[in-house]
Structures are given as structure tokens and as C-alpha cells.
Copies of this chain bind each other. A is one copy, B any other.
């Protein structure tokens, strides 16, 4: 029974890593679609969203099955509940990638603005935060999770920088308001990618360092 449990727990971790890799790739792809004005990348993002939605259901069921069949001890139970929450965070990354390509699609129909190179930088940083928070979670490493939390300030600063730059740009050229606003919203979506990485990192700390559930309540 213990061997089965360990195997199933390992399978759960692999599915989470697969889902994270997929969501990370969607974020990169969405920002490339925006920067390169590339409709084929827009399509790729829409198609991958379906895969992520399917994986979300699979992972939730794995969590339920693991608890129902094995009645895991406190630490593992905490981990599995954390996995179900992490699953929700990963699924929302896919929604954010879709939001970004929705804006990209609108922008492709209008003349290009000057390139705002901060956006790809934000995408790389946000994507790395997701990858590292997920690694911290599956390996139960709160130290690594805390490093992710620190990087969120950097991402917020980049968002503030690009928002200020775009606000200035729109104030000088009112014909650019609609397009500038779309790019501000892209920056917000990338900031939210970082927020979900932060959730996963905080969740990791709660899972590993939280109080033992059997010592109170009830």
C-alpha cells in the first residue's frame, strides 16, 4: 500500500510539472505573439489552453484518489491539499496567456507602437518564478520558495516602469491611448503570473512549515 502511495504521489508531481511546463510555454508564446505580431502563435496559445484545462481535471482527481484510497499522514495530506491549490494557480496562468494573446490580436489590426522591451523581460522573469516556485513545491523546499517571493518585487518594479513609460507615451500622443492601454494590460497580466508564482511559493512554506493538523482543532 505504501509503495502504491509513493508511486501515485510521484505521478501527481510529474503531472504538476507537466502542467507547469505547459503553462510557462504559453506565457512565452503569448508574449512572442505580441512582439512579433504573429497570428500562428496566437492559435497555439488557444489550443494549449484546452490541454491545460484537461490536465487540471486529471490532477484534481489524482488528489482526491490519493486521499480517499490511502488516508495519508498529516504531512502528505497537507502536501496533497497544497497540490490541489497549486493546480488552480497553474490553470489560471493559462487564462493569463489567453488574455495576453487577446490583446495581441487586437494590436495586430492597428499600426505598431514602438517596441516596449520591458514586456519580454517581464515574461522571462515571471516564467522563471513559476518554474522555481513549482520546483520548490514538489521538492518541499521552503528556502527556494522564499527566493521566489523576493523576486516578486523586481517584477512589480518592471510593471511600474513600463506603466509609467506607457502613460507618458499616451499623454503625448492621444491617438496611441487604445494601444498603450492594451500594453498596460499585458504588463498587468505578466505581474499576475508572478502573483500566482508567489501563491505557489507561499503554499510551499505553509505545506512544509505549517502546524501539524493533529495537534489542535477537532
Which residues of A are in contact with B by a Cβ distance under 8 Å? 4, 8, 60-65, 67-69, 71, 74, 77-78, 81, 84-85, 88, 163, 167, 170-172, 174-175, 177-178, 181, 184-185, 188, 199, 206, 210-211, 213-214, 216-218
Contact = CB atoms under 8 A, between A and B. Distances in A.
Contact of A181 (B74, B172, B184): B184
B74 A64 contact: yes
Contacts of A171: 174-175, 177-178
Given A88-B85, A177-B167, A177-B177, A68 B63 contact: no
A49 B121 CA distance: 31
A66 to B, nearest CB: 8
A64 B84 CA distance: 13
A68 B213 contact: yes
Given A188-B188, A218-B8, A213 B61 contact: yes
B175 A64 contact: no
A78 B174 CA distance: 52
A114 B71 CA distance: 59
Given A61-B210, A69-B217, A170-B181, 19 more contacts: A4-B218, A60-B81, A61-B211, A61-B216, A61-B217, A62-B217, A64-B74, A64-B213, A65-B218, A67-B67, A68-B77, A68-B214, A71-B71, A85-B88, A163-B181, A167-B177, A167-B181, A170-B174, A177-B177
Contacts of A77: 64, 67-68
Nearest to A203: B88
Nearest to A78: B64
A30 B184 CA distance: 22
23 contacts: A60-B81, A60-B206, A61-B210, A61-B213, A61-B217, A64-B77, A64-B78, A65-B213, A65-B214, A68-B74, A68-B213, A81-B81, A84-B84, A167-B177, A170-B174, A171-B174, A171-B175, A171-B177, A171-B178, A177-B177, A181-B181, A181-B184, A188-B188
Nearest to A175: B171
